[in-house]
A and B are shown apart, each in its own frame.
Chain A
């Protein structure tokens, strides 16, 4: 294990912890951006260069900007609202997460080593090597994902469509109604 591995591990865990514990929602979002960027660096080290760039463009760029827009649109950036329904929720959540980590670590214990410095032929994870697979064996999966993205776009637009407003009543009509009401009295 090299110094690079240790540094990236510390960065990833620290930014992830900040993203799930910070009280200010904008700060949490920015910590998540830091997490995604360090993950992209790890991808570069693990010979997944194309994936690393996609991670930066799609996640750190598009997805997180969307998140920050919605946070700033909806809140005054408070992460904690209301009261805890269960006062011991946080320790319970931490205990469950720790148990899940132990289970995952046990499940991974049989897998061989992943060494970023070893000589493995992955073509650097460049589009030249990935494209043959994406448009070969995985073609139908790619088409399905494209259909799903299209459906999700349509769903998102129709979800946030503004409500249909009632026809605007002219002020003259309101005035006449009020006068008629006064006459009626």
Chain B
């Protein structure tokens, strides 16, 4: 089994723990970035092991998508903070408001 693939699986699991255990929206978002990066590491490892560059192309596209996701996500967090004065996901559990 490949070392770097195992590493990427471990990073993904750590990111998953962060998403489940953190209580603030922005820190959950940072854990999601960690998971995206571990997927990129897996793609680059696949490109390396198969000698095919398309894995790296996919990782490049994932980085561009992550940039778009960060822009929208942080915009939502700032907008929610303005109306609720909080970004704790427990405070955001109601539909009202």
Contact = CB atoms under 8 A, between A and B. Distances in A.
Nearest to A162: B82
B56 A48 contact: yes
A122 B20 CA distance: 38
In this complex, the member of A19, A50, A97 whose beta carbon has the largest number of chain B beta carbons within 10 angstroms is A97
A98 B13 contact: yes
Given A54-B60, A108-B1, A159 B79 contact: yes
A160 interface: yes
B56 A130 contact: yes
A73 interface: yes
Interface string B68-97: 111110111111010000111011000000
B9 A104 contact: yes
A97 B19 CA distance: 10
B14 A100 contact: no
Contacts of B30: 19, 28-29, 32, 67
A13 B76 CA distance: 30
Contacts of B90: 82-83, 85
Given A1-B3, A70-B74, A89 B20 contact: yes
Nearest to A74: B81
Given A20-B34, A145-B68, 7 more contacts: A12-B7, A12-B11, A20-B31, A90-B21, A116-B48, A145-B64, A149-B68
Interface of B: 1-7, 9-18, 20-24, 26-27, 29-31, 33-34, 37, 40-41, 44-49, 51, 53-54, 56-57, 59-61, 63-72, 74-79, 81, 86-88, 90-91
16 contacts: A16-B15, A20-B34, A35-B37, A48-B48, A50-B56, A55-B63, A67-B74, A74-B26, A79-B23, A84-B23, A96-B20, A97-B14, A101-B13, A108-B5, A111-B5, A152-B71
